[in-house]
Amino acid sequence: MDAFADTALFTLLVAMLGGAIRVSTPFMFVALGECLTEKSGRINLGLEGNLVLGAMIAYAISFHTGSPWTGVLAAGLSGLFLGAIHGYVCKLPRVNDIAVGIAMMAFGTGLAFYLGKPYIQPSAPRLEAIPLGEWTGIPSLAQALAINPLFFVGIALAVGMSWFFRNTRMGLVVRTTGDSAPAAKAMGVSVDLVRFLATAAGGFLAGVGGSFLSLSYPGSWNEGLSSGQGLMAVALVIFARWDPIRCVWAALLFGAAGAIGPAMQAIGVTQGFYFFNAAPYILTLLIMASSARSRFSGRDAPGELSIVK
Amino acid sequence: MPKIEFSRRSLLKAGAAGLAAATLPAGLARAQGSVVIGSVYVGPRADFGWNQAHAMAMDIIKGVPGVTVIEEENVPETDAVAQTMESMINLDGANVILGTSFGYFEPFMVDLAARYPDVQFRHAAPLWSADKHPANLGSYFCYLNQAHYVNGVAAGLSSASGKIGFVAAKPIPSVLSNINSVLLGARSVNPNATVQLIFTGDWSMPVREAEAANALVDAGCDVITCHVDGPKVVIETAEARGVKSCGHNASQAALAPNGFITGAEYKWETIYRLYADNFAKGEALPNVVVGGYHNDMVQNTAFGAGATPEAIAAAEAAIEGLKAGKPIYVGPLNDNAGNLVIEGEKDNYDPELDGMNYLLDGVVGSIT
Amino acid sequence: MAETAAAIPKSAPRARAAGPRLGPAAEVVCIVALALIASAILFSLFLLVIGASPITFFQLVWLGGFGTAFSFQNTLQRAAPLILTGLAFAIPARIGLTMIGAEGALVIGGFASAAIAIPLVTSGAPPVLTLAIMASAAMIAGGLWTALAGWLRHARGVNETISSLLLTYIAIAIMFFFVEGALRDPGSANRPSTLPIGRETMIGDIPGTSVHWGLLVGIALAGALWVLMSRTTFGFAARLTGGNPRAALAQGLPVGTLIVACAAIAGACAGLAGFFEVAAVHGQANAALVAGYGFTGILVAFLARQNPLAVVPVAILFGALAAAGGLVQRRMDLPDASVLVLQGIIFVVLLASETLYGRAKIFRPAEEGR
C-alpha cells in the first residue's frame, strides 16, 4: 500500500476522488434544483445568478453572525427570492423562461457583486468538514475524505427527490405538470402554482449550492468564484436526463474530471494543460455523443420543456 | 454594513466632481487647465489583489490639490478599453490615462496615444520603447520577481522536502520570471530545490486554484506560492492542508497564521507618489518609471510563523544583495528542456529578461 | 396559457406579428417604451436605496450612450459584434434550436482567421485577398463548429443547448493551446497572440467615424437573414420544422439538413464576428476574443424576439448601456456591478412585457387577431 501511495497514478486517483467530493457539491445542488424546476415543465437557465448570490450572502451572513449554517440558510433564501421572481415572471403568458433565466443571471450576479464588495477581504467562519479518512494514515487520502456535511445533504436530497417523484402524490403532480399541462389541469392542478413553487424551491437549492462555494470549497468570496459553474450545472440536468440520482453521478463525474487538469500537472504531465483543464467538457460531450439515442429522445424529458421540443 | 474605506472616500470626492462635470458640456473640464486622471482597471477595484493594489495607491494621487481622478473597473482587455479611455478623454476631459493591465498596451494604448497627442498615457508593464512608441506614452512597473526571489530563498530554507509548489495563471513573461526567480532563490540556499508548477489557465479561477494547491500538496510540496489575481484561496488552502505558503501581490499574512513565510508585494505607491509630485509641481511625467528593491518599488511581507530563523536571516541578506544590485540571473542557466538560455550575468533590469519565455531547469512544468 | 409561453420557436404567429405592419410596429414601440420606463422606475428605487441620484444617473446614461457624436459612435462600436452574435442565436431559434454556443464559434472563427492569415501575411499576399480568405475561414470554422452541435442533435439525439455550451469551452481551450503554444508570435510578450496581420491589412473604420465595417456588415446580414427566414422556402420550411418537427418530417421536409444548415448559419455569423474582432480590432487572435459577446448575443436575440431585423436596434441598446455604464461608474463612482443590476432589471422587465402583446385591440387589424 505504501509503495502504491507514492506512485503518480495513486496521486492522480486520489486527486480525482478528492475532486469529485470537493467540487461536486455545488453542481449537485444546482442540478437538483434545476431538475425539480424542469420536472415541472419550466427551465431556469439563471441559476448561475442564484449560485453567485447565494455564495456572497452566505459569506456575508456567516461573517456577521459567526454562524456558517445561518449563512447557508440565508443563501437558500436569497436563491428562493430569485427563483420566485423567475417563477412569477414566467407565469405571465408569452414570456419565455429561457430568456428570463439569462436576464436573472445578470441581475443575480450584479446584485451579488454590488453587495459583496466589502466581503472580499475579510475571512468568515467556514463550514467544518467531517474527517472520515484519518484511519487511512495517508495524508492525501485523509484530505480527500474530509467531507463537508452538505455533500451528504445533497446525496440524501437526491435520493429523497427520486422517491418523491416516484412515490408521492405531490411528485406525480409535479411530473404531470411537466409532461402535459392539459393533463395536470384535468387533475384539477394549478399549473402556474406548481411551476412557481418548483422554480422557487429550485432557486433555494441553487442558493445553498452557492454557500458551499464560499463557506467550504474553495471557501472564500470573490467575484470570480463561480466562473460559470451554475450554467454548467443546469446543462448537467439534461446530461443526467432529468433523474435526481443521475444528477449526483453527473456532478461527481464533473468534479472528478475537473481535478484532472491540476493533478496531471502535479504528477509532471504538463504539456497541453489547456486540454486537461477542459477535460470535464470534453468528457461530457464524448459521453453524450457516444450514448446513441433515438432521433427524438423525448422519453426522459418532461414533455412541456421548451428546450427539448 | 462595513464598507471598504478607500471607496467611501473616493465616493465623496469623485461623486462631487462628477455631479459638477455632468452639468458641463463635454470637454469643458480640460479647458480649465487642471489635471484629470483616468485610471482603468481590468477587474473590480476591491479584489484583494492586483487591482486593489493599484486602486489603493491611487489614493495618493487623489490627495494632490487640483487633480481629479476618475476610475473605471472591470474593463476587459478588448476594444472596450479603447472606448473607455476615449470616453474619459472626450466626456470627462481626462488628460492623463493610466492603464493598469498588461493587455491594454497593444494595440489600444499605442493607437490612442497616436490619436490624442495632447494626452499623456502610462501603462503598468515594461513594454514602452522610445523608438517604437509615441512620446506621450510610457511605462511604469515594479519588478516583483525580486521579491519572489526572496520568497524562494526563505521557502528553500523553510521547506523540508525542497519541493515548492507554484500555482500560476498564464505563461507570460512576468509570471515566468516570478516562477524562475523563486527557483533561483530556493536553489541559492538549497541546490536540490525544485519548483512544481501548475497553470490554471486564467487569472481568476478560485476552484481550480484550490484544486491546484491541493494537488501540489498531494504531490509532496510543503511550501505553496502563486501568481494569480487573488491569492487568498491558494494561501488559505495551503494553510488548511498544514503546509507553508508564500504570498503574492499584497500581504496575505493574516490568512495563514501557522504557515505563512513571507510574500512578494508591489509598492505601486512609490510610483504614484512620484507621479503625484510631478502633478503638484506641474512637471511632465517621465516616460519610464521602473524599479525593484533598489528604489523601494517592491517589498516582502513581514515574516510569518512558517519562516525558520535561518530562512529569515538568508532572506534579509538576499534583500540587501538586491538593494545593492546583485543579479538574480547568473548564467550559465539551462531551461527545463536542456537549452542554454542565459549565458552570463544579467542585470536585474536587462530588457532581455522582459521577454522571458522559458522555465529554468528545476521547474517541473511546461508553458504549453 | 403558460404552456404556450414556454416555447418561442413554436409560436409562428408571433414571428408574423413582428413583421413590418404599421399596427404591430406601433404596438412594439409602445410596449418597449413602457417597459423601459418601468425598469427605469425600478432601478431608480434601487439607486435611492443606495443613496445615489436617479436624475444624475439617467442624465449620464443619455450622455454616455447617445448624448454626443462621440458617445453614439462608442455605442455603435460596442453594438457591432452583438448584432452578429444576436443573429447567431436568433436563426437556430427559428427552427427550434436553443444554441448557446455563439461564444465558441466566435472564438474558433476568430482564431481560424488569424491562423490562416499567418502564411498569407508572411508571404506578402495582397490585403484584399488576405481579408477575403480570413473571412471565409472564420465563417467556415464557426459554421462547422456549431454545425457539429446541430448534427449531434439530429443524428445522435444530443441536446444542442448542452453540446453548444460544452463546445464553447473546448473552443476556448483550443484557441489558448495554439495561441500560447505553437502559433504564438514571439513578439507578443506579455499577451500571447498570433502574428499580427499588420496595419496595412487590417480593415479600417467607416469613413468619417471610428466605427469599423463590422457594424454595416452586421446590419446587411441581418437584412439578408430576415429575407431568408421570412421570404424564402428555406425559411418557411425551417419555421415549420421549429413549430412541429414531427409534422415537418411527415411532410417530407429534410429536417436534418435544415437543422444542420441553420446551426451552420449561426456559427458563420458568430465566426464573422470573430473575424472582425481579429481583422478590425485586434489584428491578431488572443485572449481578447473571449469577451462574452456570444453570451450577450443570446439576450439580444431574445429581446429582439428572434427577428433578425430587430436584432440591430436591440444590439444598439446593449451597446449604449455598456458605453454609458463606464461613464456612470466614473462620474458617480458606482461599482461596475450596479450597471449589471440595471441590465438585469431592464432585461427582466422587457421580457415580461412580452405578455402585453395582443392585449390592446387598437394595435391589431381585425384579420390579425388570434
Write the pLDDT tens digit of every residue in A228-252. 899 999 889 988 989 999 999 999 9
- In this predicted structure, what is the pLDDT of residue C369? 41
Compute the count of residue pairs across chains A and B with CB atoms less than 8 Å apart.
142
Residues of chain B with C-beta less than 8 angstroms from the C-beta of C186: 355, 357
User: Do residue A104 and residue C302 have CB atoms under 8 angstroms apart?
Assistant: no
Contact C2 A192 (CB under 8 A): yes
Convert the pLDDT of each residue in A98-153 to its tens digit.
889 989 999 999 999 999 999 998 889 999 999 888 888 888 888 888 899 999 99
The string of pLDDT tens digits covering residues B27-53 is 334 334 588 999 999 988 888 888 988
Closest partner CB to A103 (pick from C157, C162, C299): C299
Architecture of domain B5-142: 3-Layer(aba) Sandwich (3.40)
In angstroms, the CA B65 to CA C299 distance is 45
Residue type, A302: P
- CATH number of A93's domain: 1.10.3470
Look at residue C22 and tell me whether its pLDDT is greater than 60: no
> Is C297:C86 a contact under the CB 8 Å cutoff?
yes
Which of C3, C165, C177 is the closest to A274 by Cβ?
C177
Q: Kindly determine whether residue C166 and residue A284, on different chains, have CB atoms separated by under 8 Å.
A: yes
A93 min Cα distance to partner chain C (Å): 5
Residue B106 — very low, low, confident or very high, per pLDDT cuts 50/70/90?
Answer: confident
| Residue-by-residue DSSP string for C233-282 | HHHHHHHHHHH-HHHHHHTT--HHHHHHHHHHHHHHHHHHHHHHIIIIII
* Nearest chain C residue to B6, by CA: C333
Put simply, the answer to whether B4 touches A263 (Cβ < 8 Å) is no
Contacts of B19 in chain C (CB under 8 A): 53, 56, 331
Tell me how far apart the alpha carbons of residues A22 and A290 are, in angstroms, rounded to a whole number. 28
Structural domains in chain A (count): 1
Answer whether B106 sits within 8 Å of C191, measured CB to CB. yes
**Structure confidence at residue C209 (pLDDT):** 87
- Look at residue B19 in the predicted model and tell me its pLDDT: 36
State whether residue A258 sits within 8 Å of chain B by CB: yes
Domain region containing A62: 2-308
Chain B CB contacts of C189 below 8 Å: 127, 172-173, 354-355
Just give the CATH number of B145-264+300-364: 3.40.50.2300
Min Cα separation B77/chain A (Å): 16
Q: Does C16 contact chain A (CB < 8 Å)?
A: no
Average pLDDT of the residues in C186-201: 86
As a whole-number percent, the residues of chain C with pLDDT over 70 amount to 91
Domain(s) labelled CATH 3.40.50.2300 in chain B stretch across 5-142, 145-264+300-364
Instruction: Find out whether B185 and B148 touch, Cβ atoms under 8 Å.
Output: yes
Percentage helix, strand, coil, to 5, in chain A? 75, 0, 25
Which CB contacts under 8 angstroms, 24+ apart, belong to C309-314? C309/C222, C309/C223, C309/C226, C310/C18, C311/C83, C311/C86, C311/C87, C311/C90, C311/C222, C312/C83, C312/C218, C312/C219, C312/C222, C314/C86
CB pair distance less than 8 Å for C336 and B74: yes
Is any Cβ of chain A less than 8 angstroms from the Cβ of C287? Answer: no
CB B72 within 8 A of CB B105: no
- Report CB contact under 8 Å: C191, B354: no
A268 in C contact zone (CB under 8 Å) = no
Nearest CB partner across the interface for C190, out of B18, B91, B125: B125
Give residue for cell 459638477.
B20
pLDDT per residue as tens digits for the range B259-311: 999 999 999 989 988 988 888 888 889 999 999 999 999 999 999 999 999 99
**In whole angstroms, what is the distance from residue B212 CA to residue B8 CA?**
36
Residues in chain C: 370
> What confidence category does residue B127 fall into, taking pLDDT thresholds of 50, 70 and 90?
confident
Nearest CA in chain C to A99: C302
C71 neighbourhood in chain B, CB within 8 Å: 87, 91
- Tell me how far apart the alpha carbons of residues B259 and B255 are, in angstroms, rounded to a whole number: 9
Measure the CA–CA gap between C202 and A141, rounded to whole angstroms: 55
Chain C nearest C-alpha distance from B133 (Å): 15
Confidence band (pLDDT; 50, 70, 90) for B203? confident
Q: What's phi and psi for A18, nearest 5 deg? A: -60, -45
Tell me the average pLDDT across B106-134.
92
Is residue B146 within 8 Å of residue B320, measured between CB atoms? no
Task: Give the closest of A95, A113, A304 to C351, CB-based.
Answer: A95
What DSSP string runs through B227-260? ESS-THHHHHHHHHTT-EEEEEES--GGG-TTTE
C-alpha cell at B264: 512578494
**A261 contacts on B by Cβ (under 8 Å):** 200-201, 208, 211
Residues of C in contact with B73 (CB under 8 A): 329, 335-336
> Any CB–CB contact under 8 A between A254 and chain C?
no
Closest CA in chain A for residue C179: A274
Indicate which of A23, A56, A121 best probes the interface with B, i.e. most B CBs within 10 Å of its own CB.
Answer: A121
Q: What is chain C's mean pLDDT, rounded? A: 88
Angle between helices C233-243 and C214-231 (to 10 degrees): 70
The set of cell numbers assigned to B189 is 540556499
Tell me whether A142 touches chain B (CB under 8 Å).
no
Residue C322, chain A, CB below 8 Å: the answer is: no
Q: Does the beta-carbon distance from B364 to A14 stay under 8 Å? A: no
Task: Tell me what pLDDT residue B81 has.
Answer: 94
Could you give the residue ranges of the DSSP H alpha helices within A92-189?
97-116, 139-144, 149-167, 169-179, 181-186
**In chain C, which residue's Cα lies nearest the Cα of A288?**
C158
- What's the CATH code of the domain at C188? 1.10.3470
Q: Which residues on B lie below 8 Å from A14 (Cβ)?
A: 218
Report chain C residues whose CB lies below 8 A from the CB of B6. Answer: none
Where would I find the H helices in chain B? Answer: 5-22, 28-31, 50-62, 79-92, 110-115, 145-158, 173-189, 206-218, 232-240, 268-281, 309-323
In Å, how far is B122's CA from the nearest CA of chain A? 27
Q: Is residue C114 part of a domain?
A: yes
**Given an 8 Å threshold on Cβ–Cβ distance, is C352 in contact with A277?**
no
| Record: contact B7-C330, CB cut-off 8 A | no
- Tens digits of residue pLDDT in C256-294: 999 999 999 999 999 999 999 999 999 999 999 999 999
Which among B215, B217, B236 is the nearest to A219, CB-wise? Answer: B236
Does residue C105 lie in a domain region? yes
* Across A169-193, average pLDDT: 93
Across all residues in chain A, what is the average pLDDT?
Answer: 90
Contact B88 C330 (CB under 8 A): yes
List of residues 6+ apart from C53 with CB closer than 8 A: B19, C47, C332
Q: Of C100, C286, C340, which to mutate for an interface test with A (greatest number of A Cβ within 10 Å)?
A: C340
> Quick one: pLDDT at residue C180?
87
Count of structural domains within chain C: 1
Contact between C166 and A305 using a beta-carbon 8 Å cutoff:
no
Touching C: which chains, 3+ CB pairs < 8 A?
A: A, B
B211/A262 CB distance under 8 A: yes
Range of the domain at C91: 77-328
Distance (Å) from the alpha carbon of B240 to chain C's nearest alpha carbon: 31
Residue C8 lies in a domain: no
Question: Which pLDDT value is given to residue B110?
Answer: 94
CB contacts of A91 in chain C (<8 Å) are: 2
A92 has pLDDT over 70 = yes
Cα–Cα distance for residue pair B78/B107, rounded to 1 Å: 10
pLDDT category of residue A2 using cuts at 50, 70 and 90: low
In Å, how far is B56's CA from the nearest CA of chain C?
A: 15
Q: C95 falls in which pLDDT band (50, 70, 90)?
A: very high
Q: What is the ipTM of this complex?
A: 0.89
